[in-house]
Amino acid sequence: MGSDGLLRCPWGVSPVDYRTYHDREWGRPTGEEALVFERLCLEGFQSGLSWLTILHKREAFRRAFAGFHPEVLARFRESDVARLLRDPGIVRHRGKIQAALDNARLTMRLHEAGESLAAICWSFEPSVHPVPECREDVPAVTACSRGLAADLRRRGFRFVGPTTAYALMQALGLVNDHLRECFARPEVDRERAEFQRPC
């Protein structure tokens, strides 16, 4: 229980950045392409780090990566990579930076083919949605996340293993992993029920 008297998932009680993300974003469905792409990139940058590190750096990431609009990032060149590697506000990992830019180009290729990254992700929404009672009930990998990761890798996307893919599914609202007693769970369920899936 937080200081405001609300029951939350244990990880979302504190610090304040976790609480804000837990309460306002995590699990709430989105199909907006730039947001989907941003979350794909940030989940990739988080690999090997804490999510709190990414939350602290998110605004700097947005500035450095042009708001994660793939049509802009697809035009970044080696000079931009060099600039990003000098930016202390972000995670300066050449492989992850290059993957974000390459993934932006692949996303634009999807658009040219009449597809979207959002629709691909949402096509892996599971048909069964267990309600977790405790944190041990929340998986790190599922059959659907393995399928999403395999599909994205087949298309050339990088830094999208099954664990990253499941974290992406949680962030985008494909699953509602708020615990049964968490105050946000019924809110997220309502939002998911009203959400228009991208296709």
Which residues have a catalytic role annotated?
21, 43, 51
Count the Cβ atoms, other than its own, within 10 Å of residue 42.
23
Contact between 74 and 104 (Cβ < 8 Å): yes
Q: How far is CA 48 from CA 77, 91, 192, in A?
A: 26, 11, 30
Q: How far is CA 176 from CA 6, 54, 88, 168, 191, in A?
A: 18, 21, 34, 12, 10
